[in-house]
Amino acid sequence: MRSFKQHLLAALAVAALFISACSSQSHVAQNAKTADFPEEKLGWHLGAQAYTFRLFSFADALNKIDSAGLRYVEAFPGQTIGAGSQEKMTYELSAEGRALVKKLLKDKGITALAYGVVGAKDEAEWEKVFQFAKDLNIQVINCEPNENQLDYISKLCDKYDIKVAIHNHPNPSHYWNPDVVLKAIEGRSKRMGAAADVGHWMRSGLDPIACLKKLEGRVYHVHFKDLNEFGNKKAHDVHWGTGKLGLQAVQSELKRQKFKGMISAEYEYNWKNNMNDVKVSASNFRAALK
């Protein structure tokens, strides 16, 4: 008969083989994750602005984001929640509505990292926006605030430990030029920066690379687009890497700046059926990184 020691050694050997096999499987899974999401090793979180799917509910948008191979969402104010709820994605969302949003995100394995583009009429309302964002674990609020709101928004950033990224719509919107954004954040909280919309810069006739360089160190969020024309406000979205943007050049500049944060696909074309456009664009984005 085998001794107790022999049994113990045999059991330990089996356990060692099991642990080794699990470790190997984990390593393979990790390698697969890196291969599928190469942007993650750069600290980039590639997702979608839910406005891309504005014709649908937030619940439907999450389904489309998941189908496009993305795991992050930038929620936008006013979108109907869906999944049985007619409430909107605003700070007025009820406790039940917020619980539903959190469940929808968890069920899909999608993280809400940003919220915008949002505005508010005064300090009291801005505080409600920040409280709402904090409750949903939002890291960045994208907005285009009035100049007279900047001081108290700066204080709210520090109070709630949430970044504010000033977004640029095309000229003649107030923040269309990065010089205006830089002036707005000068002397204020380091949690205030830019939500760089490279497509809108193109529509305004501004070089996205030059704009990014001006904002170096304060780019906290990116709205990613590629357009069929440069310098035309009526230009429309095309699959990333097939338009006038210069996909790899923008990626290289973000790498050089050591940008960390969310990159939102904002595909504002083919509204009724643009999920596959986002999917192809994300695939092109990742292929350009490999």
pTM, to two decimals? 0.88
Q: What is the mean pLDDT of residues 222-251?
A: 98
**Per-residue tokens: 95:** 């406790």
User: Which pLDDT does position 277 carry in this prediction?
Assistant: 98
| Residue 283 pLDDT > 90 | yes
Going by pLDDT thresholds of 50, 70 and 90, the confidence category of residue 128 is very high
Q: 26-63 as b/e, with b when 16 or more CB fall inside 10 Å?
A: eeeeeeeeeeebbbeebebbbbbbbbbbeebbbbbbbb
The better pLDDT of the pair 13, 158 is held by: 158
User: Which pLDDT does position 32 carry in this prediction?
Assistant: 41
Burial of 177 (0-12, 13-18, 19+ CB in 10 A): middle
| Residue 8 pLDDT > 80 | no
pLDDT digits 0-9 by tens, 183-231: 999 999 999 999 999 999 999 999 999 999 999 999 999 999 999 999 9
| Residue 120 pLDDT > 90 | yes
Q: What is the mean pLDDT of residues 14-30?
A: 47
| Residue 21 pLDDT > 60 | no
| Residue 26 pLDDT > 60 | no
| Residue 6 pLDDT > 80 | no
d(CA 181, CA 156) in angstroms, rounded, equals 18
Provide the Cα torsion 190, 140, 145, 217; round to 10°: 40
Burial of 182 (0-12, 13-18, 19+ CB in 10 A): middle
